[in-house]
């Protein structure tokens, strides 16, 4: 089978190639046997999250002094891609934790806050990012959740919806409006710990895809958080949200890239195994052309994802590239996964084979962390 599912060495350093190979090996040997059961049971296998921490995948960019791996954003992208080839649901956990939560703490937390939170995030505590609400999806800053001054800090009241990692997380970055008269400039970010009085994790959504990944409602009823848990400055929550979500788009691109690579790999392998009219279906030009087109589009996505991640690490502007990456990667992932189902034929439509799960998992790529229409709006502002 062709090696499209592995990043070409010419585009990665020796160290990056080794890191990708290590994560990919872990995904294939440890995660792959559990994928079907996790999807059915809608939860991660016992001990899997601890293994992700033990492998250093939950603190990739955290400094060594805080028990992190001191890696690059590109390293995080490689890890997300490698895991997504096997199970995008597990990759969501790693992606949200690293690209949104850890990065937000690294950039916006005070030195004291970093000393307290980063070692935990790198070693044993999952992070979640709570921005969305029932009335603020694409209109991310139409927040109804309120924060008011309290003697001991701040009192939070409201609900958050569609929060990834909600069930597993121990630390939550929560956005609320501290000054409603200031519009989006009244939005402020807080770090809330699981178990804080007045804070409960509500129901878990029953989803089409990435079912092992928890997507939960969060409920805040007179939840008091201390002044020390204010992340960044009052009224600067919108800035934190915008910057972290720009990075997150590249992470979603990496998820969709890995998903497409995984689906392509299964489709190519099945085409070599399935025989019709006395020969492998891979010998038919129609199947060959389909696989070739899939491979070409995957290669284009890879270049876009890697380029956006390199730009981010280099400190250069990447907003346009991140939006383009998420837009195109989600389109290709859905298309490749659909074609994977078709190559499997009737077997692609049943749960016994892997094709249908990739297809279900792909759909969310066009939705979360900014819909495709929102990406087009961002791109239009950058290019026109």
The verdict on 137 and 62 lying in the same domain is no
Q: Are residues 108 and 150 in the same domain?
A: no
Q: Are residues 364 and 253 part of one domain?
A: yes
Residue 2 lies in a domain: no
pLDDT above 60 for 5: no
What is the structure's pLDDT at 248?
Answer: 97
CA dist 34 and 156 (Å) reads 38
Same domain, 186 and 111: no
pTM (predicted TM-score): 0.95
Overall number of domains in the chain: 3
Whole-number mean pLDDT of the chain? 95
Q: Indicate whether 173 and 219 sit together in one domain.
A: yes
364 and 294, same structural domain? Answer: yes
Confidence of residue 368 (pLDDT cuts 50, 70, 90): very high
Choose the final residue of a domain: 125, 157, 178: 125
Residue numbers of the domain that contains 302: 239-383
CATH code for position 182: 2.40.110.10
Number of C-beta neighbours around residue 9 at 10 A: 11
**Is the per-residue pLDDT at 4 higher than 60?**
no
> How many other β-carbons are positioned within 10 Å of the β-carbon of residue 347?
15
Residue 64 domain-assigned (yes or no): yes
* CA distance readout (Å), 347 to 136, 274, 309, 331, 372: 40, 11, 37, 23, 30
Contact 372, 363 (CB under 8 A): no
Same domain, 330 and 225: no
On whether residue 3 sits in a domain, the answer given is no
How far is the CA of 106 from the CAs of 62, 78, 226, 284, in angstroms? 7, 20, 20, 52
Q: Is residue 4 part of a domain?
A: no
Residue 140: predicted pLDDT: 81
Q: What is the mean pLDDT of residues 110-136?
A: 97
Considering the domain architecture, whether residues 166 and 99 belong to the same structural domain is answered as no
- Point out the residues that are catalytic: 369
294's CB contacts (< 8 A; 6+ apart) are: 260, 264, 267, 335, 336, 339, 340
> Looking at residue 356, which CATH number applies to its domain?
1.20.140.10
**Is pLDDT above 70 for 314?**
yes
Q: Are residues 244 and 356 in the same domain?
A: yes
- Residues 68, 21, single domain; the answer is yes
Taking the C-alpha atoms of residue 242 and residue 295, their distance in angstroms, rounded to an integer, is 33
Distance of alpha carbon 193 from alpha carbon 199, whole angstroms: 9
Across residues 347-367, what is the average pLDDT? 98
The model's confidence at residue 112, banded by pLDDT at 50, 70 and 90, is: very high
pLDDT at 217 over 50: yes
Residue 58 lies in a domain: yes
Tokens of 61: 């960019």
**Domain shared by 134 and 116, yes or no:** no
Span 167-179, pLDDT tens digits: 999 999 999 999 9
What's the pLDDT tens digit per position in 234-275?
999 999 999 999 999 999 999 999 999 999 999 999 999 999
With a pLDDT cut of 70, the percent of the chain lying above it is 97
Q: Is residue 36 part of a domain?
A: yes
- How far is the C-alpha of 63 from the C-alpha of 119, rounded, in Å? 9
pLDDT, tens digit (0-9, with 9 covering 90-100), for 325-345? 999 999 999 999 999 999 999
For 157, 247, 269, 367, the CA distances from 253, given in Å and listed in that order, are 33, 10, 24, 12
Which helix (DSSP H) or strand (DSSP E) does residue 127 occupy? strand 126-130
Separation CA 282–CA 276 (nearest Å): 10
């Amino acid at each position: 089978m062709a090696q499209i599912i592995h990043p070409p060495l010419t585009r990665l350093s020796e160290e990056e190639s080794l890191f990708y190979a290590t994560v990919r090996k872990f995904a294939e040997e440890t995660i792959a046997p559990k994928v079907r059961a996790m999807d059915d049971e809608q939860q991660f296998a016992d001990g899997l999250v601890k293994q992700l921490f033990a492998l250093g995948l939950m603190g990739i960019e955290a400094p060594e002094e805080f028990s992190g791996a001191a890696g690059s954003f590109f390293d995080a992208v490689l890890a997300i891609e490698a895991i997504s080839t096997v199970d995008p649901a597990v990759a969501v956990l790693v992606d949200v934790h690293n690209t949104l939560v850890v990065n937000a703490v690294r950039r916006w937390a005070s030195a004291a806050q970093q000393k307290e939170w980063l070692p935990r995030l790198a070693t044993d505590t999952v992070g979640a990012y709570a921005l969305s609400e029932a009335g603020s999806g694409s209109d991310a800053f139409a927040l109804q959740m309120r924060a008011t001054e309290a003697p001991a800090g701040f009192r939070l009241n409201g609900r958050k919806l569609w929060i990834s990692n909600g069930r597993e997380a121990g630390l939550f970055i929560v956005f609320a409006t501290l000054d409603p008269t200031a519009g989006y400039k009244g939005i402020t970010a807080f770090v809330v710990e699981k178990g804080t009085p007045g804070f409960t994790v509500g129901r878990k959504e029953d989803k089409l895809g990435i079912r092992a990944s928890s997507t939960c409602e969060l409920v805040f009823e007179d939840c008091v958080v201390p002044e020390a848990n204010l992340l960044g400055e009052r009224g600067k929550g919108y800035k934190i949200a915008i910057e972290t979500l720009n990075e997150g788009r590249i992470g979603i691109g990496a998820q969709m890239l890995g998903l497409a690579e995984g689906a392509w790999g299964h489709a190519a392998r099945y085409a070599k195994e399935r025989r019709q009219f006395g020969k492998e279906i891979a010998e038919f030009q129609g199947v060959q052309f389909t696989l070739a087109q899939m491979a070409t589009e995957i290669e284009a996505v890879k270049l876009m994802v890697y380029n956006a991640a390199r730009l981010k690490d280099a400190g250069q502007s990447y907003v346009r590239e991140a939006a383009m990456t998420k837009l195109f990667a989600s389109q290709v992932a859905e298309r490749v996964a659909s074609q994977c189902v078709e190559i499997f034929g009737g077997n692609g439509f049943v749960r016994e084979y892997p094709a249908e799960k990739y297809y279900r998992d792909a759909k969310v790529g066009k939705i979360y962390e900014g819909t495709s229409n929102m990406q087009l709006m961002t791109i239009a502002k950058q290019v026109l």
